[in-house]
Amino acid sequence: MVSVEEKLLVNVLYKEEREALQGIDISNVNFENLMKLASRHLMLPALFFNINKKNLSHLFPEDFIECIKNIYSINKARNKILLKEAKELSELLYKNNINHIFLKGTALLLSNVFEDIGERMIGDIDFIIQHKDEQKVEKVLEINNDDKSHTINLFSVFKPTHLARRVNKNKTIAIEPHLELLEFRNRWIFNSKELINDFKNKTKTIKTPSKIFLIDHCILGAQIRNSGFINSSYDHRSIYDVYKLNCEKSLIFKKNKKDIFIKHFFLTIDKFKIFDINIASSLSMSFMDQLFEFVNIKRYKFTHTSQNYIAKFLIIIQLFFNIKLRERALNKISIHYHHKTLLKYIYGWLKA
């Protein structure tokens, strides 16, 4: 069931001004819950932008508007810096003959998808390189004083999705160089070969993928990386990205391996009536679609569960080798260990 707060959020983000209160009694809206909801979906700046654009501020308390306006202003200032630093990064990479393409939120911002650069909240500057340039990129970034994030990966068997996240002490935004689009187990669905034509383009300009690619990457990220396919969950930031990319109104599905996730994305959010999309596929594919979905949900649930256990097992192994990690564990457990026998035992084991 959709809460009244989410109905209002959807109406403000995706509907016309005259439809803002459609199906809503404004007296029933809990604005604190609306703030929490929009914050959880990273949509506070977009919410303010649309309230302002559609002249809807009279529907909201003054302190609510003032709060989200401040968040929007901070985000817009940050995104201005992000665009500047993305361009500087691109110049640095081209100077060293490294072909690259920007991804995710950075690509959306550089592609002028949004009416206002303050709408979208972005974490890092994501870009993808070719595998052959991996060592070169590491060297260039190291010379440029971009420090690696200190992450531990003892059992990296396959090519990682991205190299270590890097932060330059003289910059504001962290950067994340990608080698692939999805984790190893999902690359059969969507991989860097999708960008082969873009990489063949040797012009030294800021490169972003096509809108079709950006839609696919956005949806597959939400469905696969964020487990939307398993849990039928969604996030409004991904929905808003697709909405701003002007998704077509009718989609014909031809490739099972990718399209089943895209179909599931739109079916999950159909209750909001944001997209007027006719999801159609041939009759001959309907049985295969259902079988594929069943098998993948089971496979994903198994993988997700096993990964949780593996992650915990790796942490235990790391405790043997990583003194700092062991110290942090000791400090945490020391606060609570006297309450439970098991924690008391673990505390003694770690100290030994």
At residue 154, the pLDDT reads 41
Beta bridge partners of 101: 128
Other residues' Cβ atoms within 10 Å of the Cβ of residue 174: 17
At residue 144, the pLDDT reads 79
Listing DSSP states for 145-172 in one string gives: TEEEP----TT--SPPSB---EEETT-S
Q: Where are the domains of the chain?
A: 4-209, 283-351
Per-residue pLDDT for the chain (352 aa), expressed as one digit of tens each?
889 999 999 999 999 999 999 889 999 999 999 999 999 999 999 999 999 999 999 999 999 999 999 999 999 999 999 999 999 999 999 999 999 999 999 999 999 999 999 999 999 999 999 999 999 999 998 887 666 654 544 444 456 788 888 988 889 999 999 999 988 878 888 888 889 888 888 888 899 999 999 999 999 999 988 888 888 899 999 999 999 998 766 666 665 667 888 888 998 999 999 988 776 554 444 544 555 555 555 555 565 566 566 666 666 666 666 666 667 776 766 666 565 665 565 656 555 5
Beta bridge partners of 175: 125, 166
Residue 335: HSE in the Cβ half-sphere, 13 Å Cα cutoff: 5
Token duo for residue 317: 């192994």
Residue 289: HSE in the Cβ half-sphere, 13 Å Cα cutoff: 18
Distances (CA, A) of 313 to 184, 210, 294, 317, 331: 20, 41, 29, 6, 20
At residue 252, the pLDDT reads 64
Radius of gyration, alpha carbons of the chain: 23
At residue 216, the pLDDT reads 92
At residue 186, the pLDDT reads 82
Closest CA relative to residue 301, chosen from 222, 220, 227: 227
Q: Evaluate whether 19 touches 54 at the Cβ level (below 8 Å).
A: no
What is the amino acid identity at position 167? V
At residue 197, the pLDDT reads 87
In this prediction the pTM is 0.78
Distances (CA, A) of 103 to 122, 207, 216, 247, 266: 11, 9, 12, 18, 22
At residue 68, the pLDDT reads 97
Other residues' Cβ atoms within 10 Å of the Cβ of residue 184: 13
